[in-house]
Amino acid sequence: MLERPQGAIVSNLTDFYLISTNWLHLILGVLMDFVPYDDRDGWIWMDGHFVPWREAKVHILTHGLHYGSCVFEGERAYNGKIFESRKHTQRLMRSAEILGMTPRFSVDEIEDAKKEAMAKNGFEDCYVRPLMWRGSEMMGVSAQQNTIRAAVAVWHWGNYFADKMSGIRLANAKWRRPDPLTAPHEAKAAGLYMICTDSKHVAEAQGYNDAMMLDYRGHVAEATGANIFFVQDGAIHTPTPDCFLNGITRQTVMGIAREKGYEVVERTIMPDEIGNFTECFITGSAAEVTPVKEIAGTMYQPGRICEDLVTSYEALVRA
Ligand SMILES: Cc1ncc(COP(=O)(O)O)c(C=O)c1O
């Protein structure tokens, strides 16, 4: 169990602030989970203007809805500042480019929209979801004339996993990450999440929190919405991102770990190795650094390295 020693918890005002804001977000997150996303108060930025939250709609005949022609980002703001905001916007643009979409808004315009959406909704700590999708002018597979629509929504989102700090349980995923010749793995594209949602649903039905996906070769790849790391003999091992998203959090955490003197090894990891590791965790903008306590019957004790990186990441995003 990852628990801070009680006596050290409120060692100074910063710690107190961190812990109290975390609790506040947890409670808000839990309460808001019961409110449908299309029936909330607030404002959503759509195609250059703010519209009342409940009116932020698309027509049923929208290409993005039928064919998965949509790209998006998932980001978190801490203390009023979006962590690695520009990197996320640049990845959004790159995802659009990979899918042949020409965005109507620049990086700077999306950056402004994200900041304005936070201000207009009065959020300091929130999740940020920019997206772009093909509109409704053509409804065949080809959509050359379709407007590239854009939106930015922000909302309170607590921990991605309710029992995050005690460690989550991963099942073996139903689906595998596809070959890079089969799907554009560098794009954060909506269509690629079809196998993630289904894998996560199957895992949840079995009582797990999430699933560990292998890739098309049978190598360990990632979780359904986060990258995966292991610890062996004090070194941190993570799969090479050659057919899945090289997460912004993944890169941040590797940087933190190296700065702290840990050896970080990117390599092919085979499923029969997972019993050799002592710690495991996943990383993502939504999941942040989340300890893993089980992968389909193989148990881990979230320990020193896991705790160090959870704490260091938390400090960095709020710095
Ligand atoms: C499938 C998948 N892999 C990895 C990640 C981690 O990416 P990031 O750290 O950039 O949020 C995410 C989250 O966006 C994801 O959905």
- Between the CA of 260 and the centroid of ligand 1 the distance, in Å, is 23
Query: Is residue 245 within 6 Å of ligand 1 at its C-beta?
Result: yes
Tell me, yes or no, whether 23 lies in a domain.
Answer: no
- Between the CA of 23 and the centroid of ligand 1 the distance, in Å, is 24
Q: What is the mean pLDDT of residues 31-59?
A: 94
Tell me, yes or no, whether 115 lies in a domain.
Answer: yes
Q: Which of 200, 210, 240, 285 to mutate to test the pocket of ligand 1 (most atoms within 8 A of CB)?
A: 285
User: Where a domain ends, among 98, 130, 155?
Assistant: 155
284 and 313 belong to one structural domain: yes
> What's the pLDDT score for residue 20?
57
190 and 243 belong to one structural domain: yes
What are all long-range contacts of 63-68, with beta carbons under 8 Å and residues at least 24 apart? 63/133, 63/134, 63/135, 63/136, 63/138, 63/139, 63/143, 63/146, 64/133, 64/134, 64/135, 64/149, 64/190, 65/133, 66/139, 67/134, 67/141, 67/143, 67/191, 68/189, 68/190, 68/191, 68/194
Residue 14 has pLDDT above 50, yes or no: no
Cα 221 to chain center, whole Å?
15
114 and 140 belong to one structural domain: yes
- Between the CA of 12 and the centroid of ligand 1 the distance, in Å, is 33
78 and 144 belong to one structural domain: yes
Listed in sequence order, the residues at least 6 apart from 1 whose beta carbon sits closer than 8 Å to its beta carbon are: 165, 166, 167, 302
Listed in sequence order, the residues at least 6 apart from 209 whose beta carbon sits closer than 8 Å to its beta carbon are: 161, 163, 168, 169, 170, 203
- Write down the catalytic residue from 115, 188, 200, 293: 188
Instruction: List the structure tokens of 252.
Output: 């941040």
Residue entry with tokens 């993502």: 284
122 and 199 belong to one structural domain: no
> What's the pLDDT score for residue 21?
57
Residue 210 has pLDDT above 70, yes or no: yes
Q: CA 300 to CA 287: how far, in whole Å?
A: 18
148 and 211 belong to one structural domain: no
User: Where a domain ends, among 95, 126, 155?
Assistant: 155
> What's the pLDDT score for residue 212?
98
Flag the least confident range among 19-33, 78-92, 127-141, 296-310. Answer: 19-33
User: Where a domain ends, among 155, 176, 206?
Assistant: 155
> What's the pLDDT score for residue 158?
86
Q: What is the mean pLDDT of residues 115-131?
A: 98
Convert the pLDDT of each residue in 156-200 to its tens digit.
Answer: 998 888 877 789 999 999 999 999 999 999 999 999 999 999 999
- Domain residue limits at 188: 161-317
Residue 292 has pLDDT above 80, yes or no: yes
How many helices (H) and strands (E) in the chain?
Answer: 8, 16
Instruction: List the structure tokens of 41.
Output: 């108060």
- To the query of whether residue 164 is one of the catalytic residues in this protein, the response is no
Report the nearest-CA residue for atom 15 of ligand 1. Answer: 225
At 199, give phi and psi (nearest 5°).
Answer: -65, -40
With residue 7 as reference, give the H or E element that holds it: helix 6-9
Assign 3 a pLDDT band (cuts: 50, 70, 90). very low
- Between residues 7 and 41, which one has the greater pLDDT? 41
Report the nearest-CA residue for atom 7 of ligand 1. Answer: 247
Burial class (CB in 10 A: 0-12, 13-18, 19+), 229: buried
When divided into structural domains, the chain yields a total of 2
Q: What is the mean pLDDT of residues 281-299?
A: 97
Query: Is residue 226 within 6 Å of ligand 1 at its C-beta?
Result: yes
Q: For the chain, give the mean pLDDT.
A: 92
Residue 18 has pLDDT above 70, yes or no: no
CB 227 within 8 A of CB 188: no
Query: Is residue 290 within 6 Å of ligand 1 at its C-beta?
Result: no
The CATH number of residue 298's host domain is 3.20.10.10
Convert the pLDDT of each residue in 52-68 to its tens digit.
Answer: 999 999 999 999 999 99
β-pairing, 220-223 with 210-214? antiparallel
